[in-house]
Chains A and B, each alone.
Chain A
């Protein structure tokens, strides 16, 4: 019986069931919703959210109320940097990725240093960083959109690379595998869980908890920068608030994917499924012929329902 309960509370299973159910509902409401090319399109959108959520996932796993609210601004920054580096030229795509990822990584390191060595709460540190980056972007660009994506990058995100599947999905699949291997099979991955679940114990066993946490924030920034390049590949050009829409959804994807906001427990596979479920939910609500307000209310309500299943905190005991 308890085994059944455990299974029913397994985040991977719940997300998978939610994804299937949403696909069926979508197909019933609007035939063709679950067609192959439609699914590929939805997966592409999920991939962008999912890659952003990878960074968020690492920071949250690391514990100490880890969260990165600056990820949206980092995505915008990555998109703007990439757009200006490329300005439509295919040859500059590798440089664009490198520049955006480096910028994101450096910003992430600053977040990490503030959180660990200055002991600023992550929520405020990254909120302040978000303001700094957004403000910096507005000041530098004067609010005028600049830069555009190279054709090959847009093809990478939007057009088929192999069997009708765009390149970004292969990259995302690789990230999912690499994250799983890193978290479950490497020393660094295990130390993330150790630091996230019991920092003092981790320090006593000799783990450099602070350095690990700084690196996690750095990686979150790196994923943010990478997402930024994907975003400009998806939309073609960038505006300075293009990343804002990913901030809280990236946290939600992590939570409905079964990673505890308290840190130390969860997996990126769950987060990836969470990102797909989130994108599907929004898509189904769009196909339902509802007014905007109704969609919003159902979206918020469904999120609460999903959290009811496993986003809850432990009961206090005497």
Chain B
């Protein structure tokens, strides 16, 4: 149980239960739900949210919040697509485009982190303001949706690497990064920063660097999510990912990470992201109109949070 305690709080218990219930309902409603191809297609749909939620977890653990990650997703998408097209669209161009996209994501996170940790701005309003700037820049790079990515890009994303589906490779790499970071002093220090900021400061932790790193991780994971979305849509869209930031925050909170900072972890956020994804899937297969999604999603989030509190009180 020691490993589970690391998840923090008790909300994740309710979330895990919700996930199991949703999986069972979906399996009943959709007979081929457990076929490998269906599993893969579901996990592909959930991947961008999972990635953004992992990144958001670090920011929230450090006691901040990143509302700009949706705009970062859009900016990374248009930069990557434009760079690939500008360099002729061959294999090298794709690689340079991917690197450029990740660079843009990390740079946006750096800007957020420097303004918030360095200049002591409020994270909520600051990342809202920077999200306006980032989406403005995205519209500057690519005013209209369009500009396709070359075929090898989306073929590779939908295909497999060394026999393993690319999407699973991305999941594994993301989990490895998260596991690596969780095992490093960085994770503990970040929790200290979010949990008791003054005490962390007084023990001599470099708060600024830790918080900036968290924002850069959020930007970088936002870039990963954007590159995956690009693999799905196969084109550029300056308005991509607008709802991702809020959904990711919900996923993180569902996963048991405290919004106040200091408690939680990425594994819970992944569960939370899957729950949010599964809600959409269940509603689709239950034959309910798509409109029910926001309603049910909101109710489940509130129920899980209230349930988490009640479980904790016992």
Say how far B239's CB is from chain A's closest CB, in angstroms.
12
Residues of B within 8 A of A248 (CB): 67, 125, 128
Q: Are the CB atoms of A131 and B136 closer together than 8 Å?
A: no
How far is A266 from B137 in the complex, measured between Cα atoms in Å?
Answer: 33
| Smallest Cβ-Cβ distance to B116: which chain A residue | A313
Would you call B119 an interface residue if the criterion is a C-beta within 8 Å of the partner chain's C-beta atoms? yes
Binary flags per residue of A290-304, CB closer than 8 Å to B gives 1, else 0: 011111110111011
Please, which residues of chain B bring their CB within 8 A of the CB of A292? Answer: 136, 139
Smallest CB-CB separation from A142: which chain B residue?
B291
B299:A297 contact, CB within 8 angstroms: no
Contact with A along B72-85 (1 / 0, CB 8 A): 00000000000000
Option from B124, B133, B260, B305 in Cβ contact (under 8 Å) with A300: B133
Asked if B183 lies at the interface with its beta carbon under 8 angstroms from chain A, I say no
Contacting B at CB under 8 A, from A273-309, are: 291-297, 299-301, 303-304, 307-308
Contact A128 B295 (CB under 8 A): no
Fill in one digit per residue for A95-115: 1 if any B CB lies within 8 Å of its CB, else 0.
Answer: 000000000000000000010
Contacts of A136 in B (CB 8 A): 295
Bound Cα distance from A222 to B49, whole angstroms: 34
Contact with A along B181-223 (1 / 0, CB 8 A): 0000000000000000110011000010000000000000000
A contact residues around B115 at 8 Å (CB):
304
A15 at the interface (CB under 8 A from B): no
A312 and B119 form a contact (CB under 8 A): yes
Question: Judging by beta carbons under 8 Å apart, are B306 and A114 in contact?
Answer: yes
Interface size class of A (residues with CB under 8 A): 35 or more
Pick from B119, B124, B197, B260 the residue with the most CB of A within 10 Å. Answer: B124
A window 102-156: CB within 8 A of B: 114, 118-121, 123-125, 127-136, 138-139, 142-143
Q: Chain B residues with Cβ under 8 A from A134's Cβ?
A: 294-295, 298
Across the interface, do B302 and A125 meet the contact criterion of CB distance under 8 Å? yes
A120–B305 CB distance below 8 A: yes
Q: Given contacts A292-B139, A316-B197, is CB(A128)–CB(B250) below 8 Å?
A: yes
Q: How far is the CB of A56 from chain B (nearest CB, A)?
A: 12
Cβ–Cβ < 8 Å partners of B259 in chain A: 65, 121, 123-124
**Contact between A293 and B125 (Cβ–Cβ < 8 Å)?**
no
Instruction: Provide the bound-state CA to CA distance between A135 and B297, in Å.
Output: 9
Name the interface residues of B123-169: CB closer than 8 Å to any CB of A: 124-126, 128-133, 135-140, 143
Contact check, A138 vs B121: say whether CB atoms are below 8 A apart: no
Return 17 A-B CB contacts under 8 Å, by A number: A114-B306, A120-B309, A123-B65, A125-B305, A128-B250, A135-B291, A135-B292, A135-B296, A136-B295, A138-B294, A139-B292, A251-B124, A252-B125, A292-B139, A293-B139, A293-B140, A308-B119
Excluding A131-B301, A255-B122, A311-B125, 8 further A-B contacts by CB distance (< 8 Å) are A128-B299, A128-B305, A135-B297, A135-B298, A139-B291, A252-B128, A261-B124, A308-B119
Residue positions of A touching B, CB distance < 8 A: 65, 67, 114, 118-121, 123-125, 127-136, 138-139, 142-143, 248, 251-252, 255, 261, 291-297, 299-301, 303-304, 307-308, 311-316, 318
